[in-house]
Amino acid sequence: MLNLILATVLMAQAAQQPAVDAIAVTTQEAVRHRASNELVLHVARGQRTGSAFFGIQVAVTVDAGGAVVSATAQRAHDPRNDYDPAIYADAESLVRALHYVPFERGGHPTAVKFTEYVSVLPPEIKAEEHVPFPEIKDWESIKITLRRTRCFGACPAYRVEVHGDGTVLFQWEGNDGPAEVQRGTISGQNFYVLLYIFVVADFYSLRDSYRLGATDLPTCFTSIEINGHKKQVEDYGGREVGMPLIVTQLEDAIDQAAGTDRWLKERDKTKK
């Protein structure tokens, strides 16, 4: 009984103490403090969803230890981009389940507030038929290719090839035709990891194309060739029509393994 009274008194004292104000940080900083790079909800068919590309904004407060204190989804101002109430609730639950690496200011952990963005996507399309991954007879002959096209905007257009012998070829694609081929290398271990993602994606069982009925988007072509067996997947706003998320992850993994970021940065320097 005494313990219960003591606990009640301590809770009352805590309630009387002023709450520590959370400082505002950017979404970019918040992303660096959590494990996943993107928050995604797959909704059931038949649920009311907004137009493509409009996700849900969630106002988040995190305490000094990195725990989520509150997560409040913001309703869309435009009815055309609104969702079923259950989807907003799911977005809040998704964010509340997160834990962030503590934020610091002046070397001390602090409470923060920011906005998270939750992508709302349709169910992923499952493979209609499983196509076995080809048996690898000659590792050095394997070729992985990623090609990104232009869009109505500043999308970089280029083609990058990653070969099993460790060769990486990069080439810009512009209005004046292909530019000079630039070369790099990839370690055997990194190539193996990249190939493993193709296996996990069950790449040969995917559809050849996932296309959204929209305009002005960039297109991404991903392909792999093993023992003469080539498979290519076209991604044109594919996630919005049920393309498995691992395809997007694979596209990014190719860029990372090939080191395309260095050529993108060099291009940015020449434009300044």
Domains and CATH numbers, the chain: 2-121 (no CATH), 139-271 (3.30.1560.10)
Which ranges of the chain have pLDDT less than 50? 1-19, 52
Look at the block and give the residue holding tokens 């981009």. Answer: 81
What's at 53, amino acid-wise?
F
Global confidence as pTM: 0.80
Q: Which amino acid is residue 94, in one-letter code?
A: L
Per-residue pLDDT, 5: 42
For residue 112 the two structure tokens come to 């923060």
Q: pLDDT at position 47, please?
A: 67
Q: Give residue 48's pLDDT.
A: 60
Instruction: Give the 3-state secondary structure of residue 120.
Output: strand
DSSP letters, 205-261, are GS-SEEE-S-SS---EEEEEEETTEEEEEEEESGGGGT--HHHHHHHHHHHHHHTHH
Q: 202: closest CA among 94, 128, 147?
A: 128
Residues 6+ apart with CB under 8 A from 199: 133
Enter the tokens of residue 232: 């290519």
In the numeric block, the tokens 């694979």 are attached to 250
Q: Which whole-number Å values give the CA distances from 165 to 40, 112, 148, 195, in the listed order?
A: 36, 48, 23, 13
**Radius of gyration of the chain, Cα coordinates, nearest whole angstrom:** 24
Q: What is the pLDDT of residues 84-142, one digit of tens each?
A: 888 999 999 999 999 999 999 999 999 999 999 999 898 999 999 999 999 999 999 99
Say how far apart CA 34 and CA 19 lie, in whole Å. 24
Residue 236 near residue 208 (C-beta atoms within 8 A)? no
Residue with tokens 């090609």: 147
Express each pLDDT in 121-130 by its tens digit. 989 999 999 9
What's the pLDDT score for residue 269? 64
pLDDT given at position 44: 79
pLDDT the model gives residue 21:
86
